[in-house]
Structure 1
Amino acid sequence: MSMQAANRAEMPWYRRTYRWGQTNLTEMDPVYCEMAMWKEYWRRTRVQGIIVNAGGIVAYYPSSFELQYRAEGLGEHDLLGEFVAAAREEGLAVLARMDINRATKAFYEAHPDWFVVNAEGVPSTANGRYFSCINSGYYKEYIPDVLREIITRYQPEGFTDNSWTGVSRHTICHCVSCRTKFKTDSGFELPAAADWNDPVYRKWIKWSYSCRTENWDLFNRVTQAAGGPDCLWLGMINANPVKTHSSFCDLKEVGERLPIMMCDHQSRDELNGFEQNSLNGSLLHGLAGWDAVIPESMANYIRGERSFRLGSNPAKETRLWMVEGIAGGISPWFHHIGAVHEDRRQFNNAVPVMQWHEQNDMYLYNRQPVANIGVVWSQDNTEFYGRHDANERVALPWHGITRALTRKRLPFVPVHADHIARDAGGLDVLILPDLAVMTDSQCEAVRQFVEAGGSLVFTGATATLDEWGEPRQSFPLESVTGIRHLNEIAGAVGKQPADWAYFDAHNYFRLPDEGRHPVLYGFEETNIVPFGGHIHRVEPAAGSGMKAVATYIPAFPIYPPEFSWMRVPRTDIPVLLAGEHAAGGRICYFAGDVDRSYGRTHLPDLGDLLANAVTWAANGRILLRVEGPGYLDCKLYRQEGTYILHLVNLSGANQSPGYVEEYLPVGPITVYVRTDDLTPAQARLLVSGKELQPEVKGGWTSIRIESVTDHECIVLQ
């Protein structure tokens, strides 16, 4: 055994278990499951741990709790016990999967006070099951007893639960537990309905987060008391902060609690594409630390415009999602629905990636990202700015800026708004993408960052609302940005209607005739840029040095074409302002919501403007350059004496709805890595298996790669 392997063996399971597999059992699997097949599959995929159904909504073992519903085909079987025994024979860690958010009618009738009800006392149901209340005895007494029973019988390393957060934000539970607890905790009666203008409803929102975190802590006290300090209750989370808010999961609070985060984000979605998965990894590591292990459930069944639980996902679709996650620091975790399948193609999807991961995992862990650009996010902004339309207000700007950076191959890291001061020392540029809701302390951290010489790129309504989403009397960042808000909107634009000829969105940027700012690089052949968004009316503060880089052209008719001429070709309304701070940093503000507009349309001009602004703000402090064709997601890391660069080829892979049917190889690609403190003697390509001689000149190390198919991983050492 090597020294590295010996050291790993001494680590707790959650530090050394990198590859995971899950068989999400169905009720009839106790009848048909063939354990020998699964053991062989575990070996092929090189997994080190498995997730297997235990109890909650369906029990797969002979529970002593009469009200815990048993799988229809269980009979006298103990399928959980069989999986645990097989996993132990293979030397694998075991996580017991739970689903605790609903139960049978018999359970409801026995304990009606443990279940979600509306203001009239009517229980909430779906598919014949009754939703359990997170504040009731079901969560506080019954589930802890079930956890203790499973620990006593099977000694799992820990637990996962993909429905631990209970009902979504769309339901206000009025059971006696919720009424009593909310009154005790807040001093108020429960809000009658969702009303963002009601301060009690906003308090209920924050309270709802705290209730879930309280249960997280309770379950971990139970499992660690019964199973030892390393027996962890891990729930499951989704790394998309906009999607996660619907379930009241506080990602920051969860990330601060455990050294391993089980991420249930199984595939790309219509908005975010494959690049979302590398972003998942960097966002969660930013919360839990880069020494944490973050496995992610990766679907082998068909997802998309239509989902088919038993059909095999196209192999290239699965693999590209997997390699994108690995590039972001995600640990691979195959996921199948059911223990028996007639579509056996799915059992070949993950194997090559998992085997490659095992061969190269020494370069995939214990590393730090190399990125000097931070993109700020927060759950409060999703709640109290996003409110009833978080996708429009928050998801689109976030997606727009992160996609623009990815497309221009600029390494960046997500930064939680509460961590700005903590992470500022490693950053040259901070980006606030329409981060309207900010606390006073977060604004102060931004001010200190700029006054220490950092550069700032921000957009839209950033910092104009307080922590509850209420308008501020004055703009708190005016002193460091030189921007004064006039509290007006020009050309308000909403969602695109079905009619393509949307008058309100037919607006443009006007570029100056001469003396153009460097942010406008690449636009020499045009005097206008299509926009499609709305404008926050602002003006430069006196003496600030901030100047308008582009101005606004108001909307005019788009149809019929004879009417499509500019009624007001010029205004003095600034849409993009830039300047330098006395401390040495650069400031760039998009008064027009370019990030949201780009997130909606993917119009290249808008992405170029965003990337140009960040590049200018960095003022030459660029750590990576990648030249050559294709849409590449580039993630750069540092280990001691080593740089590691992932190149994931997303060319042609962003059609949605749709599936990846063919990889489109790109090349040649020339990579330049800033390596001032290291002179690499060797470049290893971990996918193609080649070794190249790097060229080191002027603090840059460069290599040329002839072609990248789906991905490449370059090790400079």
Structure 2
Amino acid sequence: MSLAWTREPLRFFQHLLRETDASTLRIDGLIDEIKSVGANACIVMGGGFSAWYPTDLSSQTINPHVRSDFLGDFLVAAKVDGIRTLVRMDISKGRAGMEDRHPDWFVRKPDGSVSSVWNMPQICATGPFWQQETFSILGEILSRYPSANGFFFNYLHVPRCYCDRCQDLVFRATGESVPAPDRRIPAYEAWRQDFLADYMGRVRSFIRACNPAAALVPYHHVHDGWNIRRMAAITDIIGSQVSNPVMPNPVDPQPIWNLWAAEEALTARALKPDHAPLLIQTTSEVFASRQSAMPDACLIHNLIQAAAHGAATAPAVNGMLNQEDARFVPALQTFGRYLQENARWYRDLKSPARVAIVRSEDSRLWGTDAGRPAGKAEANGHIGEFRGFCEIISDLRYPFDILVAPGLTVAELGRYDLVILPAVECLSDVDAATLDAYVAAGGKLLASADLGAADEAGHERQSAPLHCLPALPGNGRTAIGAYLALGRLEFRNALSGIPRVPAAGEFWTPFADGNSNDDLRLIGPFANNAPEFTMVEGAGKEPGLIERDFYKGHAIWLPWRIGSLYHRHSMPEYRKLLSVLIERHVGAAPVRTTAPLAVETILYAHPDGMVLHLINGASARTKRLTELTPLAGFDVAIETDCGFALSLHDDKELPVTRAGKMMILRIECLDHFAAIALTRGSAGRKCA
């Protein structure tokens, strides 16, 4: 056996069983529920603080409601039905009271008391449980159940601990003690990241020695304390969460935004290009009140967005499908059967993107976001800027990829006509040199906001890191009450001839000397906004658009937060400004449509042609996507040499017309989503 199966986008499912469920559940009932949602893989309850099998180890507590060998019986039944199974491990917490018997197993607060999560004592990563007991548990499961396909490690991270052992290890590695709870320092965070990656490398080697065909899938819903590039290297399947619950986790707040599934899928593709990631999707509406059903509109939106980018998804159900609040079940079953019937169209997808957006872990950790996984509430850091650019590019109907910094390479940059650096405040010398080499060879770079203000650890720079844009941003100032003058005719034409657009947020002036090619010059700001005095007077001075040629390439700097402002306020003028710049360097978008912006378009190449998804994101104003708003009557044009269009919902050929390179489709009604295969010859659906 091999691990080739980890490359495919399997259809996962996860029963997050309550311990009391074990007293009444039947294995055949669980298998039937898994099959009812079209799944061919699952995550099953296994070991850790709750053991679902008759363990001989005192480090685990057997679920008191388990009446037999649940794990063993389930694995046998799953194998008969061809369902691949990952055993769920949770080594992050212990049972209440264990801290009295094993005080050296658990995380200590600065005052010496035991730390807890969800009222359970939190396990210390450097202690005996992780270092000895976890390997004993894995060895026991691997020896008893060789048919297990691997392990899913839940809520995996290195918590901040002030025990003597951690204090000593951290001091020897960094020269300092564990920092205070409200203090973040690069050396300590690097230690946490490296400790976790090194530890999971040992876990992977142990699993491989026992069963070379067993996969390792570490998981944390916000990847706290992860070096995502190192973790991807020692992981067989990248695990991430994309849940978008209506109310987020109060303990570790998650991002809430409509492209979260796309972000995680594209980030995983960048880190592990030939493997489909496993994206976890809750079916609970409220994270802290799990027994409440996720609205169909939100659930299907997240699942189809992930699948459209070639990711495997795992709906996670708290308990059984047969539960008191089972409103989500019909939609989940319908969607699961759809994926099952169209499995071949979700394999071997290749991105046609000519635009890449850089996601900077250094900027998130050590820039304005200060390590927050969801960014600053005001969206003024790298995360808000990054997500705003993702939204703009998506709204302009361009396919895009995500690249992860640090660790950029000239080879990966060279695949794109345009690379975007959204408020990459923290930039290493190595990545800066790589970006310069890309531009020098003919690449196009578009940067925004406070580019390169600090190094990879957040230390303020004294000289510019880039040669293609040889300046530091300098001190920002407010642009509230100001305007950006549209000097170029192409900008004015794109904006119906108006002379200027509003400015807001922070604004930087990197270059003291002006350049005649620069544009979007700042007028104001005007402090007096009383109606009687709102004349816009004077010519613009500092440019909001800086352009420089660099050897064979070209670099653009928008020294303001265009992405963040779009992310928060959906400023249409900003989208149109970027449209002019992107089309000049990349060409027209390959998808054009009369649909409203609420319709997301996702286009991928496929061995048999192309696959186009149209996803309905229409919702009530200012509200989350909780109820479906059907849309009707729009056209979609796709640049393709394909001649046929096949609806994946019903396997029917769609009428098309052509205009030059464009295939044109008419969409009469869009419910949750439409999925259309574009082929060079008529090709029907094949089940898998």
TM-score scaled by length of structure 2: 0.89
Residue among 315, 326, 330 paired with 1:334: 315
Please state how far the C-alpha of 1:530 moved relative to its aligned partner: 2.7
Determine which of 593, 604, 609 is the counterpart of 1:637: 604
2:556 to 584, 588, 601: 588
- The structure-2 alpha-carbon separation of the partners of 1:177 and 1:365, relative to structure 1 and needing over 3 Å to count, comes to farther
Partner in structure 1 of residue 684 of structure 2: none
Q: 2: CA distance between counterparts of 1:357 and 1:395?
A: 32
SS at match of 1:207: helix
Q: 1:225 aligns with which of 185, 200, 209?
A: 209
Tell me the residue number matched to 1:456. 445
Match for residue 14 of structure 2 among 15, 22, 44 = 22
Identity within the alignment, %: 20
Is the alpha carbon distance of 1:654 and 1:608 closer, same or farther for their aligned partners in structure 2, counting shifts above 3 Å? farther
1-structure distance, mates of 2:577, 2:650: 35
Corresponding position of 2:522: 551
- 1:700 positional shift: 4.2
C-alpha change, 1:215 and 1:546, in structure 2 (3 Å) is farther
Report if aligned partners of 1:630, 1:649 keep a CA contact under 8 Å in 2. no
**Would you say the 8 A contact 1:368–1:639 is kept in 2?**
yes
Per mean C-alpha deviation after superposition, the further-off stretch among 13-22 and 374-383 is 13-22
1:400-419 to structure 2, matched below 5 A, reads 400-417=388-405, 418-419=407-408
1:368 is aligned to 350
Match of 1:108 among 88, 99, 103: 99
Q: Relative to 1, partners in 2 of residues 1:453 and 1:666: Cα closer, same or farther, differing over 3 Å?
A: farther
What is the Cα deviation at residue 46 of structure 1?
Answer: 2.0
Cross-structure match for 1:4: none
Letter of the structure 2 residue corresponding to residue 80 of structure 1: L
State the distance in 2 between where 1:151 and 1:579 align: 59
Whether the 8 Å CA contact 1:508–1:528 is kept in 2: the answer is no
TM-superposed CA distance for 1:427, in Å, is 0.3
Pairing 1:5-84 to 2, within 5 Å after superposition: 12-16=4-8, 18-74=10-66, 76-84=67-75
Tell me what 1:498 maps to. none
Aligned partner of 2:340 in structure 1 is 358
Higher helix share: 1
Whichever residue aligns with residue 271 of structure 2, its letter is: L
Alpha-carbon deviation of 1:488?
A: 2.2
- What's 1:212 paired with? 196
Q: SS of the counterpart of 1:480?
A: coil
Shift of 1:133: 1.0
**Counterpart mapping for 1:178-577 below 5 A:** 178-192=166-180, 194-195=182-183, 201-226=185-210, 228-238=211-221, 243-244=222-223, 247-267=224-244, 272-289=256-273, 291-303=274-286, 308-339=289-320, 341-385=323-367, 386-387=369-370, 390-391=375-376, 392=379, 393-417=381-405, 418-477=407-466, 479-481=467-469, 484-485=471-472, 487-491=474-478, 506-512=480-486, 515-539=487-511, 546-557=517-528, 561=530, 565=534, 569-570=537-538, 572-577=540-545
Amino acid in structure 1 at the alignment position of 2:577: L
- The 1-side partners of 2:622 and 2:79 are apart by 42
Question: What does 1:648-659 correspond to in 2, within 5 Å?
Answer: 648-652=615-619, 655-656=622-623, 658-659=624-625
Alignment partner, residue 646 of structure 2 = 684
Residue 616 (structure 1) aligned with residue 584 (structure 2): yes
What is the letter of the counterpart of residue 647 of structure 2? L
Deviation at residue 143 of structure 1 after TM alignment: 0.9
1:712 aligns with 2:674: yes
Quote the residue 2:252 is aligned against. none
Give the letter for the 1:523 counterpart. L
SS of the residue 1:614 aligns to: helix
* CA distance in 1 between partners of 2:540 and 2:34 (Å): 65
Q: Which letter maps to 2:501?
A: V
Distance 1:526 1:697, change over 3 A: closer
Q: Deviations over 1:189-213 (max 9, x none)?
A: 43345445xxxx3211111111111
- 1:667 and 2:633 matched: yes
Question: In the superposition, relative to structure 1, how do residues 236 and 160 fare at CA in structure 2: closer, same or farther (>3 Å)?
Answer: same
State how 1:116-131 maps to structure 2 within 5 Å. 116-131=107-122
Q: Give the drift of 1:701.
A: 4.2
Q: SS at 1:146's partner residue?
A: helix
CA-atom RMSD, angstroms?
Answer: 2.8
3-state DSSP class of the match of 1:184? helix
User: What one-letter code is carried by the residue in structure 2 that aligns with 1:45?
Assistant: V
Q: 1:388 to 1:689 in 2, by over 3 A?
A: closer
Task: Classify the secondary structure of the residue corresponding to 2:126.
Answer: coil
SS at match of 1:345: coil
1:617 and 1:428 map into 2 onto residues whose CA distance is: 7
| Structure-2 change in CA distance of 1:77 and 1:422 (3 Å) | same
Does the Cα contact within 8 Å between 2:310 and 2:347 map onto a contact in 1? yes
Shift of 1:139: 0.9
The structural deviation recorded for 1:565 is: 3.3
Matched ranges for 1:143-158 at <5 A: 143-155=134-146, 156-158=148-150
Preserved contact between residue 518 and residue 545 of structure 2 (Cα < 8 Å): yes
Tell me if the contact between 1:373 and 1:412 (Cα under 8 Å) persists in the aligned partners: yes
Tell me the distance in 2 between the aligned counterparts of 1:256 and 1:593: 33
Structure 1 residues 520, 687: closer, same or farther in 2, change over 3 A? Answer: farther
Contact 2:523 2:538 in 1 (8 A): yes
Contact 1:404 1:608 in 2 (8 A): no
Q: Distance in 2 between matches of 1:609 and 1:191?
A: 45
Provide the C-alpha distance between the structure 2 equivalents of 1:60 and 1:565, rounded to a whole number of angstroms: 70
| Letter in structure 2 aligned against 1:532 | A
C-alpha distance in 1 between matches for 2:393 and 2:245 = 18
Q: Which runs of 5+ in 1 are unaligned?
A: 1-8, 492-504
Shift of 1:145: 0.8
Distance 1:268 1:105 in 2: 28
Match of 1:138 among 120, 126, 129: 129
| Structure 1 residue 178 displacement after superposition | 1.5
Name the counterpart of 1:604.
572
For residues 582 and 661 of structure 1, the distance between their equivalents in structure 2, rounded to whole angstroms, comes to: 50
Structure 2 gap ranges (5+) = 248-254, 680-688
One-letter identity of the residue aligned with 1:40: D
